Amino acid sequence: MTQAPARPSADRRRHDREIVALAVPAFGALVAEPLFVMADSAIVGHLGTAQLAGLGVASALLTTAVSIFVFLAYATTAAVARRVGAGDLKAAIRQGMDGVWLALLLGAAVIVAVLPTAPGVVDLFGASPTAAPYATTYLRISALGIPAMLVVLAATGVLRGLQDTRTPLYVAVAGFVGNAALNAGLVYGAGLGIAGSAWGTVIAQWGMAAVYLIVVVRGARRHGASLRPDAAGIKACAQAGVPLLVRTLSLRAILMIATAVAARLGDADIAAHQIILSLWSLLAFALDAIAIAGQAIIGRFLGADDAEGARGACRRMVQWGVAAGVVLGLLVVVTRPVFLPLFTGDSTVKDTALPALLLVALSQPVCGVVYVLDGVLMGAGDGPYLAGAMLVTLAVFTPAALVVPVFGGGLTALWGAMALMVAVRMLTLWIRTRSGRWLVTGATR
């Protein structure tokens, strides 16, 4: 009887250790990803303005194409973690191999689509006549690395499901270093220009994919899992990914609508919007790390038929999300005098950005809850609900954003609509987690 009060504290400590062990390396790997683009930009930027502009267009297209398939990581994490919780590592790795095969198939399809259409797509995105040839060159070469990027997503999901976020961190860091060295050598040493940058990135991406495949194949052999493609398994992976694809596309649509509205407000507003959006993305990496931990931990608990453990982990991760949001919000407020001058010396842009920046700071605790609950429901394999909830959010946000220029609202009003979007997401996710309907236990959902 005297030891009963200590159990909640012991459970919290156990959850805290797991969250930190998974989230910290996940954050490092997430931050390493955009460094690829930064390294390319820094190297290509010295070739000339037209080359850098071409890289900007091509990189935006590639990033969008790959982000659409992020469900390869999310769905695989949840499915593998469930089987880990059920104690069936052979089935867990077999599930992961299905995700890897699906990634290769999707990557091949993207190559087939991109190579002949690259010039038209570049023109559609408004590349200037001087930048378009460079964008087309970079896009066509880099498309050859898309299967590798998708394999990295799927294999990362496998390892996260196996409760391993350290290996993805090591691979991401090694990939970044290799990418920077290859780009510098091929762009300047070999004199290949922007094509050298593209080839360096492709080689680095396939190198990362090869490391992941070695790790996964070794695990498959260790546990006797088949490496051959299984049509039924690949189909099941694709079906599980469709709702998450809808969720991702809805979220991308929200960001695109916000940018389109900001562009209609004027040059100062769109410039300020881009600054704030870059900060928003950086903050998202920190919060997404906790969500990734949530995917792995919740999937494992549910696979082990421990609904109460999953509920307790969810509660603790929400507390982490709120705390992280508060800290990030305070950092935004404290660093705003330094942050804004890093991007612009225009006083009009800074004055326009400041009120919206404060809205972003205030919304961070809510964002923390949103990211955590999103990860919890992904870990539970509750993709159809996430898709529906994001469509509802899109339906609420769209008119709220579109009326901003109609009524003469500025950037602050637009980011007020973004804050509304976050609030709607939190409400829909909170309703679901409170209902308990996501607590479906077993090796498969």
Residues 6+ apart with CB under 8 A from 421: 254, 393, 396, 397, 400
Which 3-state string (H, E, C) describes 180-247?
A: HHHHHHHHHHCCCCHHHHHHHHHHHHHHHHHHHHHHHHHHHHHHCCCCCCCHHHHHHHHHHHHHHHHH
**pLDDT cut 90: percent of the chain above it:** 53
Tokens of 273: 């919007």
Question: How much is the CA Rg of the chain, to the nearest whole Å?
Answer: 22
pLDDT one-digit tens code per residue, 346-361: 788 888 888 999 999 9
Helix (H, G, I), strand (E, B) or coil at 34: helix
Query: Please, is 267 exposed, middle or buried when counting C-beta atoms within 10 Å of its C-beta (0-12, 13-18, 19+)?
Result: exposed
Tell me the mean pLDDT in the region 1-11: 54
Q: Would residue 48 be called left, alpha or beta, if left means φ above 0 and alpha means ψ between -120 and 50 degrees?
A: left
pLDDT one-digit tens code per residue, 368-395: 999 999 999 999 999 999 999 999 999 9
pLDDT one-digit tens code per residue, 322-343: 999 999 999 999 988 887 787 7
Distance CA 354, CA 276 (A): 9
Tell me the mean pLDDT in the region 35-43: 72
Distance CA 55, CA 61 (A): 10
- The three-point CA angle 140-179-36 to 5° equals 75
pLDDT one-digit tens code per residue, 146-170: 999 999 999 999 999 999 999 999 9
User: How far out from the chain centre does Cα 204 lie?
Assistant: 20
Mean pLDDT of the chain: 88
Q: Give the residue, 63 or 306, on which the prediction is more confident.
A: 306
Tell me the mean pLDDT in the region 403-421: 91
Residue position matching structure tokens 């070999």: 190
Q: How confident is the model at residue 428, as a pLDDT? A: 97
Q: Is the model's pLDDT at 417 over the cut of 90? A: yes
Spatial CA neighbour of 211 closest among 174, 166, 176: 174
Q: How confident is the model at residue 3, as a pLDDT? A: 42
Q: Tell me, what amino acid is at 224? A: G
Q: How confident is the model at residue 159, as a pLDDT? A: 93
Distance CA 279, CA 301 (A): 34
Q: Is the model's pLDDT at 257 over the cut of 70? A: yes
pTM: 0.87
Spatial CA neighbour of 440 closest among 315, 326, 313, 301: 301
Q: Is the model's pLDDT at 2 over the cut of 50? A: no
Classify the C-alpha dihedral 212-214-217-221 as positive or negative.
negative
